[in-house]
Structure 1
């Protein structure tokens, strides 16, 4: 057989092999064997954890607003274990930086994002419109979208209970409040604190100094000292640090903790701490996403839901006042006690709630006035 004939036969054999392979592929045969089904020895892979991110307006620290939110984040981890993966960015300003940070959270694959201050609202709404596959939760706001909802705590309930104690403990009948940012939430807390004080001591008046920041310990301390200089002997705050309580401790006066238990920062001055427990809501929101039941809504929880309380009440507080606070707490929990119930008069002397009239949530959300007994003017634009 000649070399030409051998080469021809080999070539034809090769073409035949290729044709056979092509026929097999054309008949739907796969060249790679199918992957084996999951067995007890080789279980199916676990789904990837739900990535959750939190944007905080202040540092986590060891007390206050952001500290309370981070405790809620930790509660989510404890509840769901390896089904979730959480992260946070602290000290995010209420401005363009908020948009940058939250967009970065989206780009990192987070599917549930919590923004924990009022000033993030419009930025979150904008980002939500660009990322419909992500769920956004905004604290203390009022704007929603199909994938963005709002949540808040009835902090005014804690403020009211603190006020009851303040009214009983003051000797000068002058109370002082360090206000953060003059939005309805904060004005509502100042008024509620005063209502609580007036319920046991109609003679009290409340002075307010605004710092226009949520977290600025030096400014908070200066504001507290200003109030002490004006005769206030019991201080309250709607700011995030323990500076107000520490100023009272140094001056030998009385004060309250806010958002978390601050008793260890001023053990002699401390009368009680109005705290927020974010854990119940954060667990609910996470479960909603994991179970596919998340929907747009507005949530406002208080004592009834375990989100608000007044804790670590000082032994200095008389037994009858402690009992009164216990009674109020029980009434708030069962829905029989109403803090904003008329008659209530505004600072200008006009009646804002008639005798027996109970404020609804729309009224409460829109409070931009001082009640009778609060001195000074509400800042413009509130």
Structure 2
């Protein structure tokens, strides 16, 4: 009996004891015991290929289950025939190598050995990365669960890039990886491109494990995708190992967030403000180190020039309001036209040099650059105006604009005479679908027969009313921030009367109030670290009408009962007794949740990917909320989908 078998046996016995004490089944899982009758929809023979050994999860049948630990180490006594055969196979592999491939079944991106369990065990003992195998794929019958959808995306990736090595835990990741590499998954990649990707992955994997990445929930593929999003412009294989490892150390918390957990904390209401008497300064905690002699310095970065961007000007007005309100305890500086990465980096470096310790970047398209700057300047607090773009080092802030849309939807239906209203959406980002649906639900509460005609704006396109003219729609919800090029009055909710725009209501942002709330928290010391590398959290402020950051501006000539309708609905939302996403919800495809259900979770509202049953229209092709990071630049993409653009959601 070889000494190597005894060493492998000791490892197997150790693994058995560890798993047993942890309450984990200590032997190999058998695929036949995992699958229930009818779980599969057929099989596909893929041929012979190299497969990663760490994806070999078990055996096909129960016969050899108890011969190995869960880690494929042997557990039978050294005196058995099994031990002699294992030792013989070890000698063959170390002298001449195995000649025949093992036979495996692949199911849901894991392999189960039909023939060759001992060979697999020997290779695992030797620390090999892969093993040659004849692979037969078993296709699942059902595809509606998240893990099944993710596997379906892997199959899409496989058709273009036939390699098993790379695995993700989040939907949309395979497409984002291809986009980062300047490719797609529509057509097969060349052999050279496949070799380049697999070499890159294996190089990164070795360094990731060296740096301790195995303690994170994220897969190595998740970590690679996050790494490439920060350093997309260089060839990883040309980057020295020391630099990669150093970067991994700085990106640890971001890599942890790349995994499957939902660690985005949505703060839906601000903390109660201090109620001490006196002026603004008396509202500050006596623990604050800031004063007019030692002010808190803030910087505001805008993507576009102030002269041409109404979105940037709205934020800048809020900046000036905050600076005035705190009477010298807070000082601010603004930088516009920061869209290019080089300009952004230069501005941040200059601001930090001037003593700025809090930086607001006022567009979701700036999140990628913001996250990189946060890594480079850990002494600075960064906030980005977006929702649900998870970064542990960057807090985000946005508004529950869907509440205002719910109210304007009800108002729109009260003015429509033909059960039809129009709705123009600007950018399909997180939260915007909730706004569409809230508008449609509000309209249906007033008129159960109403239909909401949804269109997506395009740069330089006609106004909404021009697009709706042939459909007989006269009441419309257009852009809330930027008027269309051909009619500066076509903002918010309006009605066409005798060919002229009659404004009814306009949802508004109160950025001065929003920045006041955030700055109060900073001055009062309520800003806490968002987590450590072991359990990081991404924090997103998502305030609404109750906190005063979202409101409605009504036309002076709005009829009395229309104004009363708005007041009643607004009051119900502000008190928390009215919510468009509570109770039964119906999408174009059917019931989303039954009657009597509580309101949707905040994360489900933010990432909504369905349209209400009275909406006539579709979401842009190939759009899904998990792609928001790429839409907003978080993974190198631009803020557009299917040609959709617009400054109202910058």
The TM tier, using the shorter chain, reads: 0.7 to 0.9
1-side partners of 2:493 and 2:340: how far apart? 24
1:312 pairs, out of 545, 554, 563, with: 554
CA 1:61 to 1:225, structure 2 compared with 1: closer, same or farther past 3 Å?
Answer: farther
Match 2:521 to one of 288, 291, 294? 288
Of the two structures, which has the highest relative contact order with CA contacts closer than 8 Å and spacing of 6 or more? 1
Alpha-carbon deviations, 1:83-134, whole Å to 9, x = none?
A: 2222223354487765565455445542111112222223212211111111
- Structure 2 counterparts to residues 303-342 of structure 1, below 5 A: 303-317=545-559, 319-342=560-583
Structure 1 pair 271–91 and aligned structure 2 pair: CA distance change class (3 A): farther
- Specify the SS of the correspondent of 1:71: helix
Identify if the C-alpha distance between structure 1 residues 59 and 46 changes in structure 2 by more than 3 Å, giving closer, same or farther. Answer: closer
Q: For the Cα contact (< 8 Å) 1:237–1:244, is it kept in 2?
A: no
Summarize deviations over 1:37-95 as a string: whole Å, max 9, x none: xxxxxxxx963433211122445469954343222212211111222222223354487
CA 1:270/1:289 → structure 2, altered by over 3 Å: closer, same or farther?
same
Is the 8 Å Cα contact of residues 347 and 374 (structure 1) preserved in structure 2?
A: yes
Q: Which residue number corresponds to residue 183 of structure 1?
A: 429
The reply to whether residue 86 of structure 1 matches residue 311 of structure 2 is: no
Q: Is the 8 A contact 2:489 2:501 kept in 1?
A: no
Q: Which moved further from structure 2: 129-138 or 145-154? A: 145-154
Which residue pairs with 2:512 in the alignment?
Answer: 279
Residue 153 of structure 1 contacts residue 308 of structure 1 at CA under 8 Å; is this kept in 2?
A: yes
Tell me, yes or no, if structure 1 residue 194 matches structure 2 residue 443. Answer: no
Q: 1:125 aligns with which of 346, 371, 384?
A: 371
In 1: Cα distance, 2:593 partner to 2:306 partner: 39
Q: SS at 1:338's partner residue?
A: coil
Q: Which residue of 1 aligns with 2:387?
A: 141
Cα distance in structure 1, aligned partners of 2:348 and 2:623: 27
Report the alpha carbon displacement of residue 197 of structure 1 after superposing the two structures with TM: 1.1
Secondary structure of 2:328's match? Answer: helix
> 1:242, CA displacement in angstroms?
2.2
How far 1:137 moved relative to its partner? Answer: 1.0
CA distance in 2, matches of 1:227, 1:248: 16
Q: Which residues of 2 match residues 46-85 of structure 1 at below 5 A?
A: 47-60=293-306, 65-85=311-331
**Mapped pair 1:157 → 2:403:** yes
- Take 2:500 and 2:329, find their aligned partners in 1: how far apart are those partners? 40
Change (3 A) 1:67 1:171: farther
Instruction: Check if 1:301 corresponds to 2:543.
Output: yes
Counterpart in the other structure of 1:235: 476
Tell me, in whole angstroms, the C-alpha distance in 2 between the residues paired with 1:124 and 1:193: 32
Query: In the alignment, does 2:627 pair up with 1:381?
Result: no
Unaligned runs of 5+ in 1: 1-44, 250-254, 259-265
CA–CA separation in structure 1 for the residues paired with 2:500 and 2:352: 43
Q: What is the SS of the residue equivalent to 2:332?
A: strand
Which whole-Å CA distance do the structure 1 matches of 2:366 and 2:487 have between them? Answer: 30
d(CA) in 2 for partners of 1:152, 1:46:
29
TM-score normalised by structure 1 residue count: 0.73
CA distance in 1, matches of 2:577, 2:364: 30
Cα distance in 2 for residues equivalent to 1:245 and 1:185 = 27
Structure 1 residues 267 and 133: alpha-carbon distance in aligned structure 2, compared to 1, 3 A threshold: farther
In structure 2, how many angstroms separate the alpha carbons of the residues matched to 1:267 and 1:104?
A: 49
CA contact (8 A) 2:463 2:486 kept: no
Check conservation: 2:421, 2:473, Cα contact below 8 A.
yes
* Compared CA separation, residues 289 and 121, structure 1 to 2 (3 A): same
Q: 1:62 to 1:123 in 2, by over 3 A?
A: closer
Q: Which of 346, 356, 374 is equivalent to 2:596? A: 356
In structure 2, the residue corresponding to 1:156 is in which secondary structure? helix
Of 136-145 and 100-109, more deviation after overlay is shown by 100-109
In 2 relative to 1, CA 144–344 (structure 1 residues): closer, same or farther, beyond 3 Å? Answer: closer
1:365 aligned residue: 606
**Contact 1:64–1:242 under 8 Å retained in 2:** no
3-state SS of paired residue (1:370):
coil
Distance between the aligned counterparts of 2:307 and 2:493, measured in 1? 15
What displacement does 1:141 show? 2.8
Count of residues in Structure 1 that have an aligned counterpart in Structure 2: 319
C-alpha change, 1:352 and 1:170, in structure 2 (3 Å) is same
Q: Give the Å deviation of 1:236.
A: 1.2
SS at match of 1:76: helix
User: Does the Cα contact within 8 Å between 1:224 and 1:247 map onto a contact in 2?
Assistant: no
Q: 2:502 aligns with which of 243, 259, 269?
A: 269
